[in-house]
């Protein structure tokens, strides 16, 4: 085995490669460049790569690995890529989830370059979640090299997690449904804890239609859509219930054309976060039943819950305790927490399958120019994942 210093150097080199291929969700060509690199790496490890093509967004990659005798890295050459792989073996597969897209537009590297400082690594998408891809590939490589992969492993690299997973959700659910364990390589928390709960996320677009009129000559004939919307905004915000973990945020509002015109239209975008499905149903009902205050205006609502909650339930508790025991055998201390943000783990939670999220490297300041991960957590997380792949029963 390589020394820790050599392993970290290899992981950082791959991370730099991935980060410097910028891959915003809406840029298919850019995301597919990352996909091409990831697919090549998986083939070198002996994975069977299946490309799920998307016309508008990046392609999703499904890769299968099967238990095999130990294989030295030196023997993995291009001429071996089409060799006969081991049989699939018995039992369900372990599913690993990672996404290749980021929230950062092309050109971000110019003012946010890949760099190391004070034990941290910075760059667009370095933590969310190209660091997770590096951990995943490194752990799989170590498990295959040592002959410690005792279960079939399926990896799904998706292209649209940051924009709702519209093209990958069906794949995620289908693959998870036939798996014995699902591990999500989203970043760990700043303190290194994994994620055992997440809030569900919804989005609503609400439009008020009034009637335009001259603000001076025909003021009384107008129906001010902004006035109506201002009342609705207050009603929506009041649906927040902190005790239940339910929050609503009117984050965008647009309306009007000129100060001397009664505005005929106003639009808002609303973010919803919930801990419980029942709360999502309560909010959805309340929003769809919004009634105009002003006479002669109309309210139209679209949207709803995009990702259901991932609650801390008995299945997740048992999964965490089992993995914490595995970690302790490797002298890794593992703790649990949760977050108001959602991930593709939310789609799996309702299936009742063993699930754990946040197994990527520890970091913070996601989606900002300050995004980082702790360099040392790359190797620790790779060791943890390799141990889980080896010891999970």
Domain ranges of the chain: 4-198+310-391, 200-307
- Per-residue model confidence (pLDDT) at position 75: 54
Q: How far apart are CA 28 and CA 288, in angstroms?
A: 35
Token pair listed for 240: 């927040």
* Contact predicate 49/61, CB 8 Å: yes
* Contact predicate 203/272, CB 8 Å: yes
Token pair listed for 152: 């079939």
- Return the axis-axis angle of helices 4-19 and 131-146, rounded to nearest 10°: 140
- Per-residue model confidence (pLDDT) at position 69: 67
Diameter over CA atoms, the chain: 85
CATH class for domain 200-307? alpha beta
- Per-residue model confidence (pLDDT) at position 150: 86
- Per-residue model confidence (pLDDT) at position 214: 97
Q: Name the CATH code of domain 4-198+310-391 (choices 1.10.3720.10, 3.40.50.920, 3.40.630.10, 2.60.40.2380).
A: 3.40.630.10
Locate tokens 């040392």: which residue? 376
Flag residues of the chain having pLDDT under 50: 1, 77-90
- Per-residue model confidence (pLDDT) at position 82: 41
pTM over 0.85, yes/no: yes
- Per-residue model confidence (pLDDT) at position 157: 98
- Per-residue model confidence (pLDDT) at position 393: 85
- Per-residue model confidence (pLDDT) at position 3: 79
Tell me, rounded to whole angstroms, the distance of Cα 334 from its chain centroid.
Answer: 21
- Residue 184's DSSP bridge partners are 97
Q: How far apart are CA 212 and CA 221, in angstroms?
A: 8
């Amino acid at each position: 085995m390589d020394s820790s210093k050599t392993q970290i150097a290899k992981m950082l080199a791959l991370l730099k490669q991935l980060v410097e291929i910028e891959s915003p969700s809406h840029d298919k060509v850019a995301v597919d460049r990352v996909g091409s690199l990831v697919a090549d790496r998986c083939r070198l490890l002996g994975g069977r790569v299946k490309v799920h093509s998307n016309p508008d967004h990046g392609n999703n990659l499904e890769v299968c690995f099967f238990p095999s005798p130990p294989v030295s890295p030196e023997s993995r050459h291009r001429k071996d890529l089409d060799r006969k792989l081991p049989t699939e073996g018995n039992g369900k597969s372990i599913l690993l989830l990672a996404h290749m897209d980021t929230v950062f537009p092309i050109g971000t590297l110019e003012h946010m370059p890949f760099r190391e400082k004070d034990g941290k690594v910075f760059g667009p998408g370095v933590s969310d979640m190209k660091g997770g891809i590096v951990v995943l590939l490194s752990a799989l490589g170590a498990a295959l090299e040592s002959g410690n992969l005792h279960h079939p492993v399926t990896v799904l690299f998706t292209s649209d997690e940051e924009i709702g997973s519209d093209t990958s959700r069906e794949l995620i659910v289908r693959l998870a449904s036939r798996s014995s364990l699902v591990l999500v390589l989203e970043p760990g928390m700043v303190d290194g804890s994994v994620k055992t709960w997440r809030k569900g996320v919804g989005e609503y677009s609400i439009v008020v239609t009034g009637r335009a009129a001259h603000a001076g000559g025909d003021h009384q004939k107008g129906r001010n859509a902004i006035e109506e919307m201002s009342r609705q905004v207050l009603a929506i915000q009041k649906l927040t219930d902190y005790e239940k973990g339910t929050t609503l945020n009117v984050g965008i509002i647009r309306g009007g054309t000129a100060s001397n015109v009664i505005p005929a239209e106003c639009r808002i975008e609303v973010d919803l976060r919930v801990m419980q499905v029942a709360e999502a149903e309560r909010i959805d009902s309340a929003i769809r039943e919004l009634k105009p205050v002003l006479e002669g205006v109309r309210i139209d609502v679209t949207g709803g819950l995009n990702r259901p909650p991932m609650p801390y339930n008995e299945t997740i508790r048992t999964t965490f305790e089992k993995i914490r025991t595995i970690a302790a055998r490797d002298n890794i201390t593992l703790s649990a927490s949760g977050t108001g943000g959602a991930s593709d783990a939310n789609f799996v939670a309702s299936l009742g399958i063993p699930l754990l999220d946040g197994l990527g490297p520890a970091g913070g300041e996601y989606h900002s120019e300050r995004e980082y991960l702790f360099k040392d957590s790359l190797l620790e997380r790779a060791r943890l994942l390799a141990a889980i792949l080896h010891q999970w029963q």
